[in-house]
Amino acid sequence: MSSAARVIDPTTTPAWTALRGLSATVGQMSLREIAGTNRDFLRFDAAEWNLDASRQRVTREVFDQLLALAEQTHVLAHRDAMRTGDHVNTTEDRAALHMALRAEPGDIWCDGDIDVVNAVQTEFDRMAEISDRVRDGRWLGSTGKRISHVINIGIGGSDLGPAMIYQALGAFRDPRITCVFVSNVDPVDIHDALSACDPESTLVIVSSKTFTTRETISNALQAREWLTHTLGPTSVATHFLAVSTNIPAAQEFGIPRESVVGFWEWVGGRYSVDSAIGLSLMIALGPAQFRDMLRGFRDMDQHFLSAPPERNVPVVMALCGIWNRDFLGIESVAVLPYSQRLARFPAYLQQLTMESNGKSVRRDGHPVSYPTSPIYWGEPGTNGQHSFYQLLHQGTSTVACDIIVIARPDGSELLMHDILVANALAQASVLSMGRSADEVHDGSADLVAHRVMAGNTPVMMMMTGALTPRSLGALISLYEHMVFVQGAVWGINSFDQWGVEFGKVVAQGIEKDIAAGVWDDPTLDGPTRHSLRAFLERRERG
């Protein structure tokens, strides 16, 4: 049995028992009390980022027991199993080697006996060649026009990473090329994209690990129809590219082998942005910037693989999250980037965190008796401040907050950027420390109760100098490893998504019923039959 398969119920460890005890005492302390002690052990530097965990409700004693929990659940052994290509994705019998995607020459990463670094480099070179040809105008459309628009069709991990990073690295893009991201099977998504593009100067990239995803194939068929309607069937060869592990299916779709860039089963969908799934991004940024982003990922990988647990940023972040979730009962995390460029980062993290760790059985199939992934959501600051922060400050639920701060702006608007950062620091302060009745000096006495703020919100603050390919890569890698460590402590498989798969099967059956105009399908439950009937009637009536 591999080390990956040895699963420990974390609640049976001495550290879990100790943490339970501490939750009754420290859990009652306010952050004001806790913050009065030395907090330097909760401030870290790694790969261009500072992580400040000093606003977590974690005392030295709690911290030590969290580290003991990581040790007693064999987190580092599990990390090393992932590093050496063990099939840590037990239910799909696969390795999780996304760190190999950012390998540098000389690094060794193996899937079983096979060294994967050469294969990664070969596909990277193919992506770079395609990107350069599109960027410098050597890749022409079938009527000889230069490519000005790239449509990436994909969903989940085949969309969220490229779309998020495209926006995040807006300052690094080639202005001559616009990328459009289409994911939803709602036809308005593809139709809006197509109507913004000219087929003669558009390249469509069908991004799908499996090349079977209903949304992606439906959108790709629409795009193909749009293209061939104007430019004829032979245009597919010059206007379509595919990115997939399922090369035969891409070829069957009509995309020539030389226009298919591959990747591997050991890259999970939500860990795939560094693979060929990032092709649209590489076209927008250029291979050198893309490589720089991979360096940022690798910087954090190296830190994760070598730093001792008490100074290991992904480990510490994961353990603080476990303290909040399992011992303080905090059910959700708001991701609050003080950066408009990172507007899609919360959505990206939703898949990474919740598709990975939204599980309720351990790897050995036993149900868990403790909470696993919290709910992730969020919006950029300062917009969120004028929306849901009221609940964060004075509502009846505690929401842990990840505040992301970029010290320097993209452009020259220093003053406005300073206003942005002042807000981030103010919110971190108010969320964690609150405001007591004695501190309410303004306004009438009968409003004091309305103006008191409990504080005590655990805030994790991440800060970097500038949002660059390298710092962004490191930030994403930080969250990837944080998710891994939490999954390791909880004893779950962070790399499968069976819950998502079942919904796809049920939708296929209903699709057939709709096509046949049938609502009384005995395989469906009563309420669904009722909804289907209502839909068919309403569709008829308009």
Question: How many helices (H) and strands (E) would you count in the chain?
Answer: 21, 13
Does 359 participate in catalysis according to the annotation?
A: no
Does residue 213 bind ligand F6P (CB under 6 A)?
Answer: yes
**CB 207, min distance to ligand F6P, A:** 7
Among residues 208 and 468, whose Cβ is nearest to ligand F6P? 208
Q: Give the H or E element holding residue 45.
A: strand 43-46
Does 355 participate in catalysis according to the annotation?
A: yes
Among residues 78 and 209, whose Cβ is nearest to ligand F6P? 209
| Alpha-helix residue ranges (DSSP H) falling in 360-447 | 389-394, 414-433
**CB 266, min distance to ligand F6P, A:** 14
Q: Give the H or E element holding residue 115.
A: strand 114-115
For residues 33-72, which are near ligand F6P according to CB under 6 A? none
Asked if residue 207 lies in contact with residue 156, where contact means CB atoms within 8 angstroms, the answer is no
Among residues 223 and 405, whose Cβ is nearest to ligand F6P? 223
* 302 contacts: CB under 8 Å, gap ≥ 6: 47
Does residue 158 bind ligand F6P (CB under 6 A)?
Answer: yes
Asked if residue 495 lies in contact with residue 89, where contact means CB atoms within 8 angstroms, the answer is yes
∠ CA 30-405-66, rounded to 5°: 45
Among 10, 85, 141, 157, binds ligand F6P (CB under 6 A): 157
Q: At what angle do helices 75-83 and 287-306 cross, to 10 degrees?
A: 140
Of 104, 258, 439, 504, the catalytic one is: 504
Does residue 210 bind ligand F6P (CB under 6 A)?
Answer: yes
- Interface stretch with ligand F6P, choices 131-139, 202-210, 413-421, 524-532 (CB under 6 A): 202-210
For residues 235-274, which are near ligand F6P according to CB under 6 A? 269-270
- Interface stretch with ligand F6P, choices 203-211, 255-263, 327-335, 372-380 (CB under 6 A): 203-211
Binding mask 402-431 for ligand F6P (x = CB under 6 A): ------------------------------
Does residue 279 bind ligand F6P (CB under 6 A)?
Answer: no
In this structure, the number of other CB atoms found within 10 A of the CB of residue 486 comes to 27
Of 123, 215, 355, 480, the catalytic one is: 355
How many residues make contact with ligand F6P (CB under 6 A)?
14
Which amino acid, 315? V
Among 74, 79, 149, 209, binds ligand F6P (CB under 6 A): 209
CA separation for the pair 418, 360 (Å, rounded):
43
Residue 494 Rama label (left phi>0; alpha psi -120 to 50; beta): alpha
For residues 480-509, which are near ligand F6P according to CB under 6 A? 497, 500
Among residues 56 and 494, whose Cβ is nearest to ligand F6P? 494
Of 366, 386, 512, 530, the catalytic one is: 386
How far separated are the first and last CA of the chain, in Å rounded?
Answer: 59
Does residue 184 bind ligand F6P (CB under 6 A)?
Answer: no
What is the Cβ-side half-sphere exposure of residue 141, based on CA atoms within 13 angstroms?
20
How does 272-304 read in b/e, with b if 16+ C-beta sit within 10 Å?
bbbbbbbbbbbbbbbbebbbbbbbbbbbbbbbb
3-state secondary structure of 405: strand
Binding mask 306-345 for ligand F6P (x = CB under 6 A): ----------------------------------------
Q: Measured at CB, which residue is nearest to ligand F6P?
A: 269
Binding mask 67-96 for ligand F6P (x = CB under 6 A): ------------------------------
Give the closest residue to 353 by CA, choosing from 468, 154, 492, 209: 492
- Interface stretch with ligand F6P, choices 169-177, 193-201, 210-218, 359-367 (CB under 6 A): 210-218
Among 10, 85, 141, 156, binds ligand F6P (CB under 6 A): 156
Does residue 275 bind ligand F6P (CB under 6 A)?
Answer: no
In this structure, the number of other CB atoms found within 10 A of the CB of residue 9 comes to 16
Among residues 264 and 519, whose Cβ is nearest to ligand F6P? 264
Among 90, 131, 202, 216, binds ligand F6P (CB under 6 A): 216
Does residue 171 bind ligand F6P (CB under 6 A)?
Answer: no
Asked if residue 536 lies in contact with residue 511, where contact means CB atoms within 8 angstroms, the answer is no
Among residues 339 and 372, whose Cβ is nearest to ligand F6P? 372
Asked if residue 65 lies in contact with residue 26, where contact means CB atoms within 8 angstroms, the answer is no
Among residues 26 and 267, whose Cβ is nearest to ligand F6P? 267
Does 145 participate in catalysis according to the annotation?
A: no
**CB 264, min distance to ligand F6P, A:** 13
| Bridge partners of residue 50, in order along the sequence | 45, 463
**CB 426, min distance to ligand F6P, A:** 37
For residues 342-371, which are near ligand F6P according to CB under 6 A? 355
Among residues 37 and 210, whose Cβ is nearest to ligand F6P? 210
Asked if residue 382 lies in contact with residue 423, where contact means CB atoms within 8 angstroms, the answer is yes
* 194 contacts: CB under 8 Å, gap ≥ 6: 151, 222, 223, 226
Asked if residue 449 lies in contact with residue 394, where contact means CB atoms within 8 angstroms, the answer is no
Among 89, 208, 238, 398, binds ligand F6P (CB under 6 A): 208
CA separation for the pair 452, 456 (Å, rounded):
13
Catalytic residues: 355, 386, 504
- Interacting residues with ligand F6P (CB under 6 A): 155-158, 208-210, 213, 216, 269-270, 355, 497, 500
